[in-house]
Structure formats: structure tokens, C-alpha cells
Amino acid sequence: MVADLAASDLFGPATCPRLIVKVGSALLVAPDGQARRDWLASLVADIATRVADGQQIVIVSSGAIALGARRLGLAKGGRASLEDAQAAAATGQIALSSIWAELLGNHGMTAAQLLVTLDDLEDRRRYLNVSATLGRLLKLGVVPVVNENDSVATEEIRFGDNDRLAARVGAAARANGVVLLSDIDGLYDSNPHGNPNARLIPHVAQIDAGVMAMADTKSSSGMGSGGMVSKIEAARIATAAGANLAIATGRIDHPLARFGETGHGTVFATAGNAPARKAWLSGGLTDRGSIRIDAGAARALSSGRSLLPAGAIEIAGDFVRGDLVRIIDANGRAVARGLAEYDAGDAARIVGRRSDELADLLGYAPRSALVHRNHMALL
């Protein structure tokens, strides 16, 4: 797809009817803790132009913790402790939503606020509720502004960065594209802050070990929580759900317009649309356990078959039936995610066994697979 269209055209209204735009803390909030209103006004003007051209847009906005920390006088940008971050988020979210509502309203657009937690997008029923709400808001011509609900999130149960949140929101909204506006203008073959000869990678067709090796784990601003690793993980989630993803600079005024004009950045191309349930499965972030499989089972999965006990080697984790589990090959590489058909204890009892042995081992009529193909997404 990238070969047929210019990078910027992939995200224009004609080819991308529904777009997610993620705005990081370092772009939205100045080092002194004040909102960068002039820059935000230029971004909203870009959004207004696209909406007028028929594009539906969802904003995923960081910045609540940074804004709240200034108002509360908290050290380290409100990130000195979990309690500080929660208090700063609760305080800053009011200011953040007010800014978006005002600036969007200046262009005749209505803003809606949607605060979500990791569990809201990992639990299937709640995920569908988020999806339905986003769909209805967009049909009503509203611009949803989404953020993680950091006032109740914990270190153990949170996205931790809005890059992956944007990708998961994109899957829930069935978006065609995701643009991550960042303090860096794309993926480089080495860290450009330390290597002046680093080269920008304009297109990524497949996320492999070589691509992951280019990532830097740190956020350059010290204000946000995402680095290049989180952006590549976001790209994996988005492209698996059928959306192209771009990393583009937000260090300029009118960043969406400039990206549309130049296409400067890194585009991760999708192979095509995925069924909604498969998109949810592949984008899951909280595996409850794992099932290691042999080479024969890996080949069977790649041809669209279910995972049978005979192809399993090892069970890890304490999952129950219906939990999301990661399926890994003999080398430890994740090849699929799916919903377990057995509790971990029963799954361990039937590892490597033939189907005709299962009833005697379990003491009850066995299910057809460890993970059924209808409840599995290949990675």
C-alpha cells in the first residue's frame, strides 16, 4: 500500500476516513508546566480542516499529569510517586479537557472526553462499550478526546504511555490510520540525539528484530512516559488491526498540515483490515500466561488451524479458561495470542497428549482445542 501512495496520502481524508491523532506531553506542555496554547491552536486548525473535508478524528491526548503537577507544585513533573501522579492527573485532567473543548469550539467543533484504563480495553465487554461510544460520537460529528485515567491507574495495571493507548483506541474505533505526533520525527537507525549521522527510516513494511534493535527505550523530553519502543509496539498493534501508523514531528506549528504536505516521518504499513475480534486479540497487552508449542504446531497455526494439546510443550502462568494467553514457539518467539479453552492446571495435564487420551486424563469430556482458531490471532 505504501508503494502505491505517498506516505502522507495514506492519512488524508480520501483514503483514511477515520484517523487517530496522538499528542504527547512534551508537545502539549511547556517545560514550565504551562499549556502550549498557540501550538495547540495550530494543531486544532489542522484538525478542523480535515474534519471539514470529511475525516473523522479522535484525539489521544497526554498532558494531564504535567498540567496538574504545576498547579499542585509537585516535584519531578508529578511523577515522584504513584500517589503524586494520580493527584496530578485528577487535577490536570480538568484543565486539559477545558483547553481542548475551548480550542475545538473555536472552530465550531464539539469535544467529548473519554477516560479509559487498561482493563477497559483488555476486557472484551468493556472494549466493545468503548468501541460503541466512540462510533456514536464520531457519527454525531463530535471529536472525542481520549486519555488514560491516570487518577485510578496503578503501575501494575496501566498502559504507561499513550502511544499504545492510541493504537488500542484506533482498533476500538476501527480507524484507518494513527498518527503519533512526537518530539522526534520518526524511527532512526540509531539514536539521533547521540549520533548526528543517524538516518531516518521512512517506511517499515514489517516489524522484526532489526526494527526493534533501532528503538531507544527512553522518552527524550523526560516529561512523558513513552520512548521509541512504545511507538513500535503501538505500530504492531495498529497494523495488526488494519491501520497504517505514522510517527511524525510535532515540534512545528500546524504539524498535521506539514505532515500532509511533506510526508516526513516514519510510516508503518498494514497488510490490510483484520476482523474486529482478531484485532482486539492481537493488540492485547496483558497476557495471563503462555503456551510453548513445537514446530509442527507452529506450522499448523500459520495455516489457520487451532492449537491442539499434542502440539504443546509447556504451560506457564496461572490463567483460567477465557483468559488471554500468548502462544510462543520453541525459540520463545510469540506467534499468536488467543483465549485459553482450559485452566492452566488442566492445560498442563494434557500437554503433548493425543485427543483420544484427554477424557481419561481430565475426567470430563474435553474441549476441541487448547486455543481455538476462532479465538486466536496470529502475530
| Cα 69–chain centre separation | 25
CA neighbor of 26 nearest in space, from 201, 256, 227, 264: 227
Same domain for 307 and 246:
no
Same domain for 109 and 22:
yes
Distance CA 121, CA 128 (A): 8
What percentage of residues in the chain have a pLDDT greater than 70?
94
Q: How confident is the model at residue 2 (pLDDT cuts 50, 70, 90)?
A: very low
Mind listing the pLDDT tens digit for each residue in 95-131? 999 999 999 999 999 999 999 999 899 888 899 999 9
Q: How confident is the model at residue 285 (pLDDT cuts 50, 70, 90)?
A: confident
Task: Among 255, 280, 305, give the residue marking a domain's end.
Answer: 280
Task: Return phi, psi of residue 225, to 5°.
Answer: -120, 0
- pLDDT of 11 higher than 90: yes
pLDDT value at position 295?
96
Same domain for 325 and 221:
no
Same domain for 291 and 267:
no
CA neighbor of 178 nearest in space, from 234, 230, 232: 234
**In this structure, which amino acid lies at residue 303?**
S
The helix/strand/coil state of 127 is helix
Mean pLDDT of 176-187: 94
Task: Among 254, 280, 306, give the residue marking a domain's end.
Answer: 280
Same domain for 17 and 63:
yes
The helix/strand/coil state of 105 is helix
Same domain for 308 and 255:
no
CB environment 307-346: b (16+ within 10 A), e (fewer): bbbbbbeebeeebeeebbbbbbbeeeeebbbbbbbbbbeb
Mean pLDDT of 144-168: 86
Comparison of pLDDT for 28 and 153, the residue scoring more? 28
pLDDT value at position 210?
86
Same domain for 321 and 271:
no
> How many structural domains comprise the chain?
2
Q: How confident is the model at residue 221 (pLDDT cuts 50, 70, 90)?
A: very low
Instruction: Quote the cell numbers at residue 161.
Output: 504511555
Task: Among 220, 249, 280, give the residue marking a domain's end.
Answer: 280
Please, what is the average pLDDT of the chain?
91
Instruction: Count the Cβ atoms, other than its own, within 10 Å of residue 114.
Output: 17
Residue with cell 473555536: 106
Q: Where are the beta strands (DSSP E) in the chain?
A: 18-23, 56-61, 111-116, 143-148, 177-182, 187-188, 200-201, 203-204, 244-249, 266-268, 289-293, 312-317, 324-328, 334-339, 376-378
**In this structure, which amino acid lies at residue 251?**
R
Q: How confident is the model at residue 339 (pLDDT cuts 50, 70, 90)?
A: very high
Comparison of pLDDT for 5 and 51, the residue scoring more? 51
Residue range(s) defining the domain that contains residue 134: 8-280
- pLDDT of 291 higher than 90: yes
Strand partners, 60: 22, 146
- pLDDT of 216 higher than 90: no
The helix/strand/coil state of 22 is strand
- pLDDT of 158 higher than 80: no
pLDDT value at position 47?
98
CA neighbor of 344 nearest in space, from 363, 365, 364, 326: 326
Same domain for 291 and 274:
no
Same domain for 319 and 270:
no
Domain at 191, CATH number:
3.40.1160.10
Give a yes or no: residue 2 inside a domain. Answer: no
Same domain for 236 and 329:
no
CA separation, residue 103 to residues 12, 92, 99, 100 (Å) = 22, 17, 6, 5
- pLDDT of 217 higher than 60: no
Instruction: Quote the cell numbers at residue 40.
Output: 495547540
CA neighbor of 325 nearest in space, from 379, 376, 274: 376
pLDDT value at position 155?
64
Distance CA 256, CA 50 (A): 9
Same domain for 300 and 203:
no
Mean pLDDT of 81-108: 96
pLDDT value at position 1?
42
Distance CA 229, CA 173 (A): 23
- pLDDT of 5 higher than 70: no
Distance CA 328, CA 305 (A): 15
pLDDT value at position 219?
44
- pLDDT of 147 higher than 50: yes
